[in-house]
């Protein structure tokens, strides 16, 4: 019995070739999709980290030139015209979604289990007036440089670094 040509089924070879083409396409698509998903996650991380860094700089500006914490200088009195990097770090931990978890007490603070990012702010002051012991005060002559870095806790990858300079009566 002969069937019309249009009513014939697929041959085994045709099915195998079609399956192969489809499999290769899906495999490639899945691979690219995985890369896209990684990119989406990375984008989300960058957006969150940029916001965390920017927010922290704004917090520093709101705290103000006079009230930001100072560090320590060793010995002497009078005016120190060099730059000092404060030993006081403000370290904060955040979840992957950018929610605040806790404050750290130093760079070496152990992160909580829910922490995904850590934020480190470093304030560097110039032209400060030395006080008693290792204390010092900022003056109208001082400049205060604020640099905030947001990094992943798991591998210390720096996600964003922002910074600015504050002066008395500045913006």
Partner 1 sequence: MVTALILSFVTAMVVTSAVLYTGSARLNARAKGNSETALLLADAGINVELKKVTDAVQQYNGSTAWDTPTSKGSGSVAGVTGTYSVWVSSSADGTGTWSGSGKFYITCTATTVGASRKVVIQGSAYSIFDLFGIFAYNSDLSGSNSALKLTGNAVVTVDGNVGTNGVVSSGNGTLTILSGSAGYNYNTDFVGTNHPQLTSANGTIYSFNFFKTFPTVPSLAQAAYNSGFAAWQGQSGNQSKTIWDYMNSNFASSSAPQGVGAGLNSAESARIYTWSSTATSTTPLSSTSVSLAFPTANKPPGTTLDNSGLWTKSGAVVNNDPTTGKKCLILQPGDYYFSNVDLTDSTKELIIDNGGVTVTGAKNGNPDKIPVRIWIGRNSSGGNADAISIPISLTNSSDRSTFRVFYATDKQTLKFTASNATGYNTNGSTYQVAGAFYSISGGNTGTTITFEGVGQSCNFVGALIADQVNFNGNCNIVWDPGIGNSTDAYGGVAVLWTGDYALP
Q: What is the DSSP string of 114-157?
A: T--EEEEEEEEEEEEEE-STT-EE--TT-EEEEEEEEEETTT--
For partner 1, the binding residue among 91, 96, 109, 145 (CB under 8 A) is 145
With 0-12 CB in 10 A as exposed, 13-18 as middle and 19+ as buried, what is 62?
exposed
Spatial separation of the C-alpha atoms in residues 79 and 130, rounded to whole Å: 6
Interface with partner 1 includes 66 (CB under 8 A)? yes
Q: How many residues bind partner 1 (CB under 8 A)?
A: 52
Report if residue 64 touches partner 1, rule: CB under 8 A.
Answer: no
Residue 27 in the binding site for partner 1 (CB under 8 A): no
**Binding residues for partner 1 (CB under 8 A):** 10, 14, 17-19, 21-22, 24-26, 28-29, 32-33, 35-36, 39-40, 42-43, 46-47, 49-50, 53-54, 57, 66, 122, 124, 129, 137-141, 143, 145, 147, 149, 160-171
């Amino acid at each position: 019995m002969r069937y019309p040509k249009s009513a014939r089924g697929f041959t085994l070879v045709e099915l195998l070739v079609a399956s192969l083409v489809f499999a290769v396409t899906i495999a490639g698509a899945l691979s690219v999709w995985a890369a896209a998903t990684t990119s989406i996650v990375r984008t989300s991380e960058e957006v969150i980290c940029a916001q965390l860094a920017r927010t922290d700089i704004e917090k520093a500006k709101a705290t103000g030139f006079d009230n930001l914490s100072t560090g320590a200088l060793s010995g002497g009195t009078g005016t120190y015209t060099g730059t000092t990097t404060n030993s006081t770090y403000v370290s904060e931990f955040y979840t992957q979604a950018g929610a605040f978890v806790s404050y750290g007490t130093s760079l070496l603070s152990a992160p909580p289990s829910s922490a995904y990012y850590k934020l480190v702010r470093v304030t560097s002051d110039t032209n400060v007036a030395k006080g008693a012991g290792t204390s010092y005060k900022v003056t109208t002559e001082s400049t205060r440089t604020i640099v905030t870095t947001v990094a992943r806790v798991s591998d210390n990858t720096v996600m964003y670094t922002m910074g600015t300079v504050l002066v008395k009566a500045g913006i």
